[in-house]
Structure formats: C-alpha cells, structure tokens
Structure 1
Amino acid sequence: MATPDESVVHGSKASPKDLPALDKLLRECAPLVAEHGHTLVAREARALLDGVRARAVAGELPRAELALLPQSLATRVSQRMQPNMRAVLNLTGTVIHTNLGRALLADAALAQVLALTGAPNNLEFDLDSGGRGDRDDLIESLLCELTGAEAATVVNNNAAAVLLGIAALARGKEAIVSRGELVEIGGAFRMPDVMAAAGATLVEVGTTNRTHPRDYEGAISPRTGLIVKVHTSNYAVQGFTAAVDEATLAPIARAGGVPLMTDLGSGALVDLAKWGLPAEPLPQAMLAAGCDVVTFSGDKLLGGPQAGLIVGSKAAIGRIRKFPMKRALRLSKLPFAALEATLRLYQRPERLVQDLPTLRLLTRPQSQIATLAQQLLPEVAAAVAPRFSVEVVALQSQIGSGSLPVERLPSAGLALTPADGRGRSLDALATTLRELPRPVIGRIHEGRLLLDLRCLEEPALLTSQLTTLKEALA
C-alpha cells in the first residue's frame, strides 16, 4: 500500500499513458487547424508530444502541464510562422547601417512597391506600342534628368555595377587603377578580385599614398581597355598624399582612347553640405568632369532600395547593356519600383528633408533628439530598475559604415549602467532587448549600453515594450 507521500509524488507527475493521442489533441485544437491547416499543426503537435513523452518517461512531466498542451501547441505554431527577417529599432547611432538594412524607404516608395506587387505591371511591356519593352526604359530618362548623363542602366547592387562595367569595357584587356584605390569593402569585396572576375588584367599605378597624372599616362598602351577610379568612401589616407581627380584624368583617358569609369560607392544625388553634412562627390560632377561611366549605390546616401546605378555616355552604357552578364545582374520588379519612386522625390528637392527618411534622420537636430531622451528617461529607468541606472548623454552618431564612415553627427540618447558593474549584465541586457517583440539594437561602449535616439522617430515603438522588458528583467 502506498504511503501518503508516495501518493502525492506520483499523483503530481504524468506518465506516458496519460498523454492524449495526436488525433485527440488536434480535435481539441480545431480552430488552430482551421487557421493554419492540418499539415503544419499536425507536424508541430507530433514534435510537442514527442517532447513531453520523453519527459513523462523520465518522470519529469507535471500532470498540470497536460491541460496546457493546446496552448503550448498554439505557441509552437505561432513561433513557426514568425519570419526570420523582422523589423527592429536601430538605436546603434549608425543611420545607414549595413547589417540593419541600410536606407529606409520613403512612404512613396513603399506605396509604389505595394501597388506593383499585388497586380500585373508593365515591367517589360511598352504601353505605347503594345509590344515587348525594356525595363531600363522605365527609369533611364529619370536618371539622365537627375544626373545629366546621356544614358543609364541599373543592376542589383553597386558591386554588380562595378563588375559589369569592368567586364563590358575591359574584358580581355588591361584596367588601370591607382594603388591607393585598391580597396576592400564589406564581405571581402576586393578590387583586384573584381578585376579578375571581370576578366580584366589589373595594372596598378602610383603608390599607396601618392599617384600622379604621369603614372596613368605612362601605363596606357594598346592593351588598355579602361581606367578605373574608386572613391575610397570607407577609409581615408592622410598626410603626404596625392591623387588624380576625374577632371584631370578625363583628358588623359581621351588622349589614350580609353574610357574612364569612376565608382562613387555611396551615391549622393544632392549636395549634402547645404544641410551642414560632409560633402560627398556627386555623379553629376563626375559626368561633367568627363567620366564615361559612373557607378553608385541605391541604398546608401541616395535613400532607396539596394541597387547599382550606372550612368554615363551612350557609347559606354550601350556596351554595358549589351554585355551578356547584364541579364544575370538585372534589378527585379520590387526594388525597381522602389528605386523609381525614390528618384522621383529628387524632382522636388525642396521637400527632400521631409520625404526622404535617410536625409531626414541625418539632418535631425541634436536638440530635438536630446528632448526625446529626456522624455523617455523616466519610463526606461522604471523598466530597468533596480538592476540598471539610466541617464541622458550626448553621443556621436555615424552616417554609415560604408558611407562617410569617419564622419560623426552630434546626437543624444540614454546610457544604461549595470548596478553590479559587470559586463555580463550588459550582455544579458542587450540580449533581452533583442528578444523583445520589436528587437531593440543598441551598442555597448565603456561599460554602458547606449541607446542613440537619432533613428527613433516613433517613440511608442519603444515605450510600448517597456512593460515586457521590465517583466523579462524581473
């Protein structure tokens, strides 16, 4: 006969025979099956029952959990349907953040993408003639209007634009580049490797810190197919330096009978200096200086989707468009729609600061950001107390890791300091913030977790999650 203690112990645990059959659990969860379908729910139900059965065999399954199986199944299905790619709050201080999707699309671009995603469209259909069209025709005149180019085309990113330009103009020939411009950008994208992939032979001129016009003149030969200039937007060489600008290099290229291509990388279409931001070379200026081809990005300073924009002379762009590699690198309809809508915003330059999120965030006054920090301080402090203290601090935002990376913008935000002074506490807090329904991404620096508020335009996206944060930290 069992003792009272044994009765209590055995009665608190479920055995494998206490588990419901799969069909019974699915019947109990009929609304869930109706919403998501039998296949998904049954697969998750089997996995759930396998897990609890193993715990029951080990004598570790509380009987009370049996009543929660429908709820557990619903949670599993919900988690399975969560997308891996999610919207986050960028409180890192880097406006054009490579790892967080770079430029934010304007409302006009979002609306255009939505309109053209849910309906057939004229991506490659000429509405005037009723025949087949070319997708470049939808955007070429707009790009030419904005940059002053004779012709234009687009591909899926700027790396592709550089690769395609070199391949189309210098495949089987030599391409001349200054040693100071043999850059590596994110993802180990190195200019020498690009040259090799494009089928061109790299000819280096000058030195790392100094290159002169005579270096290019001496390198041009009958084997030369192209001269390439690379704007070193992701690093700077200072001190005893010399470089040859496009205006000086263009006559040298023309005299040698070879085209000149310049890669601007970031791709600003307006003079940022008028808003007090660091100046960035413009495609318009490069074309006016005599470049045959100019390439730049769509998702950096331009403020649009990922794209590689190629503008230049009719002859050079014509060769690029006809090159077989072009089809493999072409832009698909969704970024194409977003790019056109973004470029049209530049037809109203007086409204750019209001309409273009990238420019709006870059020009946001520090005083406005500091005021927001003061407003958020009490709520954030209450959510993380007593484990962390919070204070308003002056910060330095970054324009972008691949766009003017060394430039800083005066900003403000919140600094969270652990009461126990331990770095592990900061790591745990950063993890908890990333686990919120809308993940919050800050940065740890000198013993504090910093939340730069430059990119927080909707404070409710943060404050609405503070209760969840408090509960997670409790």
Structure 2
Amino acid sequence: MDNKNTLLRQLPKIDKLIQDKAFSGMNPELVKIATRTVLENIRRDLIEKSATMPEHEAITDKINSEYERTLKGTLYKVINATGVPIHTNLGRSPLPEDVCKEAMDIACGYANLEYDVAKGKRGDRYHHVSEYLRILTGADDALIVNNNASAVFLILHTFAKNKEVIVSRGELVEIGGSFRVPDVMTRSGAKLKEVGTTNKTRVDDYSKAVSNKTAMMMKIHKSNYEIIGFSEEATLGEIAQSAKEADVMSYYDAGSGLFRKVLPDSICDDQTIPDIVKTGFDLISFSGDKMLGGTQAGIIIGSKALISKIKKNQLMRMFRVDKLTLALLQAVFRKYIDGSAGDIPVNKMLSAELPELSEKAKRLAEMLPCATSIIEVKSTIGGGSCPTAEIPSYGVALNIPKRKPQQIEKLMRNNIVPIIGRVTDDKFILDVRTLDKKDFETIKNALERII
C-alpha cells in the first residue's frame, strides 16, 4: 500500500502537465479535460491493477489520443461488412452520393421551405414532396413527419383520442428500442381493443368488435417477426372493406415502405405501397429509411381531408421535418420517378446477383495481405423488413496466424475507420453484399496494420 501511495504522489499535476509543449496550439480547455481523464485512468490502474507509472512522454501521448478522440466526436463513418443492407445499428439505408450533393446545395444555403415564390409570401412546408408521393403511390395526399413512430402516434392522437382502436392480438408488436404499440396507443389517448388470438384473427373478429366507441380498425406490419404454422390473418382488403361498411376509419402501419419489388416473392413477399393503396385503406404510414432507401422519416399517405386534419393537430409542429430531410427525400423520390432507382444503394445491394458478388469477393480476397477463403453465406435484409428472409451471398473469411476470429473482429472494429463484419462458424467474415469497392483499400490497410 505504501508503494501505491508513493506512486500516486508521483502523478503529475494537471496545471503543470497542460503547459507541456506537446499541447501547443491546442484548445486548452479540451486539453485539461483530456488530461484529467488520462490521469484518472492511470490512478485507477495504479490502485486496482498494480500497474507501473508511465513515462512522461507516454502520458502526453495518451492525452493527445484522448484529445483527438474527443475532437473526433462520437458519430463517424463505419464500413458495413455484415451483409445486412438496412442495418439499424449502422444507420439503416445509405444514401446515393448525388442525392446528398443535391440536398447539401439546399441545406447549406437558404431555401423556399416555407415561402411561396410564385406569390411572394409565406408558404406551407408540408406540401414539399407530396406531389412526388401522389405520383409514386396513387394516394390523394401525403405528409412527412420525423419517423414512423411519430406517424403512428399522430394519427392515433388526431383520430382516436378517447376512442377505441381495433387491433389484432397477433400484431401488438414491440420493435427496437422498446417501442411497443400498446404503450404508444395509450400515450396517444387511444383505447386499445384487442381482437382475435395470437395466431388467428379473421375479418369477422374486427367487424364484431365495432361499437359506437370505435374510431378505427388498425393493421400493423409484423416487423422483426412472423407467425407461421397454424395461423390466419385478415387480408388488407378485407379489413379496409370491413371498416368502410362499419363507417369507421382504416389505418395500416406498413412499417417498411416499398415502392417497387426488388426481391422475388419467394424471398420477400411484402406488398408495395402502391398495391397497398389499392386495397382501400384510409391512411397508410411507413418509414423512409428502410426498403425505400431514403433518410429517416415517417411518411403518411391517404385522403386529402384526413391529411389536412393531421396537419391541423397542434402536435404536428413537434414532429415536422427540416429542409435537409425534405431535400434528401425529394432527391430519392425523383430517382423512382425518373427510372434511376436502381442507383439507390439498398436497391443495388438487395438486387445484386451471385455472379457479381462472387467476382466482388475474389477481387477483395486478392487484395488482402492475409490468407483468405471465399465462402457462401446468407445475408438478411435488416430494419425489420421481411424478418425471416435470407439471401444467398458470398463472404471473404480471414485467417491470421495466432489470431482467433473474435480477436480479428475486435481489431477490425477498432480500426481508424471501423470495419464491422461478423463471426460465423468460427470464422471472421466480410460479406461483400454490403461492401463498396472503394472500401477495399481501407480493409487492406487495416489488415496490414494488424499483421
């Protein structure tokens, strides 16, 4: 203990240490914060791990590293080698470069966000991209909010506050981040009325549950799970028709928006939004950053009268989006209209065929400075979209002497630009489905440092 106390007394004083010439030209307040963090870590190691006192130069190096880490921020680019295109933890759908360039031109200056250029007076931000959505979906009108959870809440709050909403027991979902539909309904003021059973809900269950307290029939996309086996559910068309006959509203939370089919039904049988519109639902909402390939947003489509009522909800201001979101969505939607939607990264990844992926894997393997093997793997879609779907793909397995797969995974993850792969069957694998060829050099350099 005496030896530890002696070492602790040898720790340099913060005020003296921050004057070191190694920190010349750096933000003094940030240097002080970094120094305090480093000294606290050293103090803890001396007490708990019986470590030795680092040399002065080693301490200043640690401070510099901590300074740079703080200056870098906590949000930065990573390389997705997991094979999951809509990876929620990695930011979901990546955007096309030309889309970002167009949006930046709008976001970095002034824009007609709430200005009517033709009339020379204040305009309405909510009309932006609504024309594109009418063309793409066949709906009468559209509205953008900050995410689909907001869309669900806003629709329920606008039309079902203190009233009943009929939902199948098999659709009372919880998705990532503990987002539970029953809880959201309660917060919105709507009253949940469960019908059917976990595995079977027929259209009669909906129609028989209608009372003078009913506001709507709600259908919810089963994100992140599926019910298979002895099961049955009412079709979208049946629910929409039943609601119409009962003179109540119909609303479908479609989860992942899909404007066009990218995968065959044998892999993913989700309906497209235009097809869902044809089933007759009064309102439909979906995400902008999943199968659609855009940025985070909640997209609401339906009749002009209903959309108008949502716009007048006083909570709308809390959920509205800014010019950057609108600019990004405008550019993405245009790609679907002008026929260039194949350029959207998610569409490219999901539609990539095995010969292309095999060639991509060979090219990557040839560049790498370690032993590799090209193996067949399965990719998933991610983002709760088609949760049981698996798409054949190719991966490059890395073999580094004296390194276990878990060690390789950690080293790659802690690269300057983190490279996120996966460990499967005791192999660290880079699934090329989600890799851009321009990232190959970064992967090569990372492995050279590791070896």
Percentage of pairs with the same residue: 34
**1:42–1:362: structure 2 CA closer, same or farther, 3 Å change rule?**
same
Match of 1:413 in 2: 395
Q: CA deviation at 1:225?
A: 0.5
Deviations 1:5-62 (A, max 9, x none): xxxxxxxxxx889999558524x654xx1xx444334554676689899999x99567
**Does the 8 Å CA contact 2:92/2:383 hold for their aligned counterparts?**
no
* SS, match of residue 251 in structure 2: strand
Q: 1:54 to 1:128 in 2, by over 3 A?
A: same
Which residue of structure 2 lines up, in the alignment, with residue 246 of structure 1? 236
2:433 to 441, 451, 454: 454
Matching residue's letter, 1:186? G
After TM superposition, the score normalised by the length of structure 2 is 0.88
Counterpart contact for 1:19–1:66, Cα < 8 Å: no
With structure 1 as the length reference, what TM-score do the two structures score?
0.84
SS in 1 for 2:122: coil
* 2:20 corresponds to which of 17, 25, 35: 25
Q: 1:119 aligns with which of 105, 109, 113?
A: 109
Does the 8 Å contact 2:151/2:298 carry over to 1?
A: yes
The answer to whether the 8 A contact 2:253-2:284 is kept is yes
Deviation string, structure 1 residues 298-319 (Cα, Å, up to 9, x no partner): 0000000010000001122122
3-state SS of paired residue (2:216): strand
Q: Is the contact between residue 393 and residue 415 of structure 1 (CA under 8 Å) also seen in structure 2?
A: yes
Structure 1 match to 2:90: 100
Alignment of 1:72-111 (within 5 A): 74-111=64-101
Deviation for aligned residue 1:277: 6.0
Task: Verify the 8 A CA contact 1:259 1:292 in the aligned structure 2.
Answer: yes
User: How far 1:70 moved relative to its partner?
Assistant: 6.8
Q: Which of 341, 344, 364 does residue 356 from structure 1 map onto?
A: 344
Segments of structure 2 that go 5 or more residues without pairing to the other structure are 1-9
**C-alpha deviation, 1:246, in angstroms:** 2.1
Deviation at 1:92, TM superposition (A): 0.8
Whole-angstrom CA distance in 2 between matches of 1:242 and 1:275: 19
The residue aligned with 2:5 is: none
Q: Structure 1 residues 438, 50: CA separation in 2 closer, same or farther (over 3 Å shift)? A: closer
Aligned to 1:165: 155
1:369–1:453 Cα contact (<8 Å) kept: yes
1:244-393 counterparts in 2 under 5 A? 244-273=234-263, 278-349=268-339, 351-353=340-342, 355-380=343-368, 382-383=369-370, 390-393=372-375
* Cα deviations by residue, 1:280-303 (Å, 9 ceiling, x for unpaired): 212222222211000010000000
Counterpart secondary structure, 2:194: strand
Q: Which amino acid aligns with 2:374?
A: V
Q: Give, in whole Å, the separation in 1 of the partners of 2:18 and 2:441.
A: 43
Alpha-carbon contact 1:230-1:263 (below 8 Å) kept: yes
Q: Report the CA distance between 1:390 and its aligned residue.
A: 2.7
The alpha-carbon distance between structure 1 residues 371 and 273, as it changes in their structure 2 partners (threshold 3 A), is closer
Structure 1 pair 48–187 and aligned structure 2 pair: CA distance change class (3 A): closer
Matches for 1:108-257 after TM superposition, within 5 Å: 108-257=98-247
**1:70–1:321 CA distance, 2 compared to 1 (3 A):** same
Can you give the 5+ residue segments of structure 1 that lack an aligned partner in the other structure?
1-14, 384-388
Q: What's the offset of the Cα at 1:242? A: 2.1
Matched-pair contact (CA < 8 Å) for 2:349–2:433:
yes
**Which string of whole-angstrom CA distances, capped at 9 and with x for unpartnered residues, describes residues 98-152 of structure 1?**
1111001122321133112321222222222222222111121221121111111
C-alpha separation in 2, matches of 1:50 and 1:247: 63
Aligned mate of 2:421, from 438, 442, 446 = 442
CA RMSD of aligned residues (A): 3.1
Partner SS, residue 378 of structure 2? strand
Q: 1:430 aligns with which of 400, 409, 413?
A: 409
